A = this chain, B = another copy of it.
């Protein structure tokens, strides 16, 4: 179970599993595909732990990211978004489709980057450890809407 892994990971690094920390993790697990902003994590977490402060959210997000438990993304709207990691295979081949019309974030899986990463290492000597691939465009439902409007 995802949460056991997170608990173990925290324990392994001798970080305490406080109620606040647990609530943040629960929210991130419940929104595994939600790409939540810090503010949104805050909102959701308050439902589980009413007295929590925003600074605690940020501190825990930073901690979880440094442990590799969550991933931080930026979509160019001036705030970071957070997502729990699902394991390397899942993770590495999982890219985002960002709709410029409605802002929705879809997903797409592909392992084609493997090839590029090998070529990068061979041709430039750069050792790739991670990547971020985002596609921008118009999602299927906005395209449908556009057709209806015409």
Candidate in A117, A119, A125, A127 with the most chain B CB atoms within 10 angstroms: A127
* A135 on the B face (CB < 8 A): yes
Stretch in contact with the other chain, from A23-31, A35-43, A49-57, A106-114: A106-114
A10 to B133, CA, bound (A): 31
- Whether the Cβ atoms of A130 and B126 lie closer than 8 Å is no
* A131 on the B face (CB < 8 A): yes
- Whether the Cβ atoms of A133 and B133 lie closer than 8 Å is yes
How often does this chain occur in the complex, in copies? 2
- Whether the Cβ atoms of B124 and A128 lie closer than 8 Å is no
- Whether the Cβ atoms of B112 and A140 lie closer than 8 Å is no
Q: Which residues of B contact A32 (CB under 8 A)?
A: none
Nearest residue (CB) in B for A110 is B116
* A17 on the B face (CB < 8 A): no
- Whether the Cβ atoms of B120 and A140 lie closer than 8 Å is no
A interface residues, Cβ below 8 angstroms from B: 72, 74, 76, 80, 97, 99-100, 106, 108, 110, 112-113, 115-117, 119-120, 123-140, 143
Q: Which 3 A-B pairs have the closest CB atoms?
A: A125-B140, A128-B137, A130-B136
